[in-house]
Structure 1
């Protein structure tokens, strides 16, 4: 039976150069593995193939491939990158090339200079991971890779003998710990500018989530996305889940297949304004919004005052949506207050409302016939609008309509198919069919998208809103009231609204098995992990310049700015340097350098298993080495006698500096295996 010790023992018997190369290849493989979700499949396969090839060459001691192979693979990688990304510049194409170059560089790993190029190319590749994610898991994976690269780098600076990788890892860990206070000071005080990291483009097609357009009937099956969209912390008890509507893009322009927003300046030019009127007590809360690469500021309906979004300003559109001047490409945190009881929009007919009655010709004839029938039964005109809205909701509630995530692909007349044929769909189908019917009855209507509901995390008390909570509802204009929210999905499936019957993404086999054995275990583990990740977001990713200035205020600054941050950081660096110099001076005065060097030699021999008196002289140590050791005994004994002569001889043959350098070059004996 093959045990784990067998390959480890075989690796230990390899020459040092081969062992060190295999370790470096393993570290590079881990770095590439972290990037597999963000690079093309061919890039992952090519990098894996090159690393496997280099591993075989190392194990066999075979020569490395010539320049023809390397240049050919490089040209192939460049061509594949250009075909995949349609460019050789930019974030995605650049990361692809960096990963390929890192793998190809191992094929010319002949000298220490080549190894150093690989080391620092690996460090740079690690940074590119933050282009796509700054999560706690990403940081943990990068930390493992960083320690591997530091270990390999330290090992490369130990040219003499065969030091163990564990010894190099301990030195690397010590270096990292010594540098940790400096990194902490830089993190806390280095002035922060605009976000440095980009994010992947939006890929919500076919998955739950928000978009600024909605193609009705083109998605046969909606895949629930369980990623977190935002976290909300309420001041006081949270409102009921069925009242939590976080407003996103408003879609009003319909071409028969696709809904899009109206031109934001067009309704305003016709006199249409938010005209927001609120009542009751506001709900105060804090939002931690995940990056979405869109300029949307998601707030509860409806907020009067603009939230303070770090690094930009937010404004309200005529359709009551809050947007910023630039896309939100990093985690942001902002405070806001909203009024759940509100009215908005004009109370009497205005010219701009005509934009919300437009329907393309030649689409959904049966829905238009249904509109005529309902108007014949309930009347026409502004006064009959509330009865017509209620009639449509009653039809949804009693007509056998069903909420489903697998409605299949719709044809040209999406509203007709929903109302008369399929009678099923998810919230986009329902909202679209409802708004088309409203417009066919001359009732101004539009689709509002955003997030609805969420769930409480019992560990940290944050309200978690996921991409699966993305929702579409309708707003109709009623005379004397303005725009009124109507959620037709609630008429079809009341459990979809709020938290009664939340939809959830399909589980894997392991999670499903655990949930079967212990229904609460998976939920508890998930809540705990999300609470930990939320703390990471709050304390690390969302540590903005405002948080830095608050730190300076706590330290006694009255009105701090970025210059105070820089001066404080410089002062800390000078203080730390001075303390280090004083410590070094105190150490030198506290212990004789000659005695310290003798003690280091005694410790090396003690680790090798030599029984030595605590206060043995250099000559006694030299005698013990010659009696108990065979390998390198002559060199070590000679060095010990030179050390004795440096202190006691009238004309010493070497000074302490030369003895200290020679000490590092000696091959000290190792403890014999039991």
Structure 2
């Protein structure tokens, strides 16, 4: 490190500043590597390495044919990758490309300023993809580095250290922090002007509105957070934490989709939701899923409130919005874990939930006939018999069941006898329909884990789950989770699915089994605070802030009024500070300036560097050696420059009083002979 420091300090200043700026650009681009094409990242690294080599060796920069050729090549690669040069992803790629190419023509200060502005703009594009605390920390580092480089560029004289420029940049950032805080708290958040643009066509890991056997296997290995839930009171048992999502009833032999009934709305199945018992009140913070779904605990009777978003419940008890959820949202809800829904008597529309595609799963159909002969028409007994078969038939829960063929239910019931929730739920529903029992699949999230630091329940993508609902006369739709018959621990609190750990995490867990869990809980609690107080600081919370300040029914005009009041107050404070600071300047120099101004008015001009002794000499030449003004000027000089032990009793306050009492002659008064 010492040799590196010596080598850097020995470089010419222009070389040092260029290398520092290239390093900052590299960090800015590195933060975006996960969101740009692979060729863009490699080419940017190559261009920066090329520019670094040219700087260290003092070689000339490439000419315009090289730059034009590279630009044309990169524009073509961007078009080939994104099929456009417009839009979010293509635009970010172009910004990275242009920033890299601009370094190849950085010859003057104005070129460096263009790079500064491009880099600052590129920092904003990071929030298009991620607004986490870790992303904000990386952007803050890049911002301070860019400010340091910008301050250094405005210090052309000498060889100021980068540490000095960093201190000045830090002071500027600290002075701007209060303004940033006030604007964050009070600037009205008026949708859709406030927020980062999303790309609704972009995919995101999460549940889908269809289910092909083998799909949820990818989700259970995803450790990303889907929901954070805060219960007002004691939470329900973990086995009752079913967060309802899409309901799938249409089956083509390979894939489940929402029902596409041919019945008119008058014959469609009504929800007929009836709840009982005490309501469970909770707050959900849901990550963006790019789909118009809200996940609520089964079953909710009241729609959660989202500002500017309409929410409604479908006949299948799924809560949906009028637009995809592209940002972090938070909503209050209440649910009843004890409920029933659906018609109590047979209905025509139930036929949609009995149909099976012809030519699929013949052995499962034969199994249904055998069960009918054994248990007759008692549907409850048939369901219990199937669950007993799952418990005692050697069926196992695994995330690696292998690839299923055409007859998925046959393979599960008779051949493989292993799978996870979607294999089990799909095979169970197929068998129920073969028994002429209306059944359907419900997808969502089940369970979760409580964070011991902040008390929030964390529901991850690996908690994605599929269960079944069967219709029974007199009871309506009844939840049946066949996975609990195969692996009870998957539903309860005994066993949760975990994503595979890295080498470092595995080594730390071997040393201390609870260390990784504790570290993750602390980090997720900090991230949750960031989400609650920063990312989810909505207009509603702004209005709550005004209520705490005494406003009865605040609105956005009150926000503007308070913001303007704060701006005016800050301006007055700034003006007062400026006046006070001016008063704190050297009062001796201020008094000398007043005397110089008076003398200039009576015909004795002087420069700013003229000392009091020279002014006294000019006064004596004009009005005689005994002039009070000359004596006062000499005492003023003595007050500042006399030795401390000279015994001079005069003070600056006394000189100020004498100055006010001096008799200043007129401009055309007769000079001394």
Q: TM-score, normalised by structure 2?
A: 0.86
Give the superposed CA RMSD: 2.2
Max radius of gyration: which structure?
Answer: 2
Point out the more displaced range, 26-35 or 195-204. 195-204
| Deviations 1:628-652, CA, capped at 9 Å, x for gaps | xxxxxxxxxxxxx986427665599
Q: Is the 8 A contact 1:222 1:405 kept in 2?
A: no
* Contact 1:204–1:210, Cα closer than 8 Å, also in 2: no
Structure 2 CA distance for partners of 1:494 and 1:435, relative to 1, 3 Å = same
1:428 alignment partner in structure 2 = 422
Aligned to 2:530: 536
- Residue 507 (structure 1) aligned with residue 504 (structure 2): no
Give CA-to-partner distance per residue, 1:535-591, whole Å, 9 cap, x none.
111111111000000111111112111111111111111211121112111211232
Q: Is it true that 1:569 corresponds to 2:557 in the alignment? A: no
8 Å CA contact 1:244–1:498 kept in 2: the answer is no
Check conservation: 1:310, 1:332, Cα contact below 8 A: no
User: What's the counterpart of residue 100 of structure 1?
Assistant: 97
Match of 1:148, SS state, is helix
Give the CA deviation at 1:160.
Answer: 1.4
- Take 1:221 and 1:263, find their aligned partners in 2: how far apart are those partners? 27
Alignment pair present for 1:495 and 2:494: no
**Count of residues in correspondence between the two structures:** 601
CA distance in 1, matches of 2:523, 2:307: 27
580-589 or 341-350, which deviates more? 580-589
Residue 645 (structure 1) aligns with: 610
Mapped to 1, the partners of 2:218 and 2:575 lie a distance apart of 67
Cα deviation per residue 1:38-66 (whole Å; 9 max; x = unaligned)? 11111111111111111111111111111
Measure the CA separation in 2 of the matches of 1:571 and 1:264.
59
Taking structure 1 as the reference length, the TM-score comes to 0.86
Assess if the C-alpha contact under 8 Å between 1:221 and 1:405 holds in 2. no
Distance in 2, Cα, partners of 1:268 & 1:28: 59
Residue 150 of structure 1 corresponds to 147
Shift in alpha-carbon separation, 1:267–1:253, aligned structure 2, 3 A: farther
1:469 aligns with 2:466: no
1:212 aligned partner: 209
Candidates 406, 411, 419, aligned match of 2:405: 411
Q: 1:71 Cα deviation (Å)?
A: 1.6
Range with greater deviation from structure 2 (567-576 or 134-143): 567-576
Please show how residues 141-290 of structure 1 align to structure 2 within 5 Å: 141-194=138-191, 196-199=195-198, 209-217=206-214, 224-263=221-260, 268-290=265-287
Quote the Cα distance in structure 1 between the aligned partners of 2:372 and 2:87. 56
Partner of residue 355, structure 1: 352
Give the stretch that moved more between structures: 643-652 or 33-42: 643-652
Distance in 2 of aligned mates of 1:223 and 1:246: 16
Q: Is the deviation greater in 350-359 or in 414-423? A: 350-359
Residue 434 of structure 1 and its aligned partner are, at CA, apart by 0.8
The structural deviation recorded for 1:266 is 6.3
* Shift in alpha-carbon separation, 1:293–1:417, aligned structure 2, 3 A: same
For 2:332, which of 335, 338, 363 is the aligned residue? 335
- Say whether the 8 Å CA contact 1:268–1:318 is kept in structure 2: no
What is the distance in 1 between the residues matched to 2:262 and 2:117? Answer: 50
Instruction: Name which of 478, 484, 497 aligns with 2:478.
Output: 484
**Bigger shift: residues 260-269 or 542-551:** 260-269
Rounded Cα–Cα distance in structure 2 between residues aligned with 1:265 and 1:642: 98
Change (3 A) 1:486 1:99: same
Deviation, structure 1 residue 81 = 1.6
Aligned equivalents of 1:475, 1:430: Cα separation in 2: 13
Determine if the alignment matches structure 1 residue 439 to structure 2 residue 433. yes
Contact 1:219–1:409 (CA<8 Å) still a contact in 2? no
Structure 2: gaps (5+ residues) = 593-605, 618-673
Cα displacement (A) at 1:531: 0.8
Change (3 A) 1:386 1:431: same
Separation in structure 1 between the aligned mates of residue 127 and residue 587 of structure 2, nearest angstrom: 46
5+ long unaligned stretches in structure 1: 599-640, 653-674
The equivalences for 1:19-34 within 5 A come to 19-34=16-31
| Alignment equivalent of 1:296, drawn from 285, 293, 296 | 293
User: Per the alignment, do residues 471 and 593 of structure 1 end up closer, same or farther by CA in structure 2, a change over 3 Å counting?
Assistant: farther
- Quote the offset at 1:217 in angstroms: 4.1
SS at 2:468's partner residue?
strand
Distance 1:647 1:92, change over 3 A: farther
Matches within 5 A, 1:81-160: 81-160=78-157
